[in-house]
């Protein structure tokens, strides 16, 4: 499994931070799953990343 995670700081949403996670779901790395989630606190990486990876 390969997992990528990034944050986007949106100035139009009054400084809200959006987290995005993408991961492979098969052994050949050809199928993907992705999800986004708003962050209330951009320093909560551990808690927010845990939401994506269960």
Instruction: Give pLDDT, residue 46.
Output: 64
26 φ/ψ angles, rounded to the nearest 5 degrees: -135, 170
**Long-range residue pairs from 48-51, CB within 8 A, at least 24 positions apart, any chain:** 48/19, 49/5, 49/19, 49/21
pLDDT of residue 43: 63
As a whole number of angstroms, the distance between CA 10 and CA 3 comes to 23
Residue among 20, 18, 17, 16 nearest 5 (CA): 20
Domain edges within the chain: 3-52
The pTM of this model reads 0.68
Continuous segment of H or E residues that includes residue 24: strand 16-24
- Encode the chain (54 residues) as per-residue pLDDT tens digits: 899 988 888 778 777 888 888 999 999 999 999 998 887 766 666 666 777 776
């Amino acid at each position: 499994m390969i997992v990528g995670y990034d944050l986007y700081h949106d100035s139009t949403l009054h400084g809200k931070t959006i987290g995005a996670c993408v991961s492979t779901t098969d052994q050949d790395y050809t199928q993907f799953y992705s999800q986004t989630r708003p962050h209330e606190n951009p320093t909560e990486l551990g808690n927010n990343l845990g939401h994506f990876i269960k």
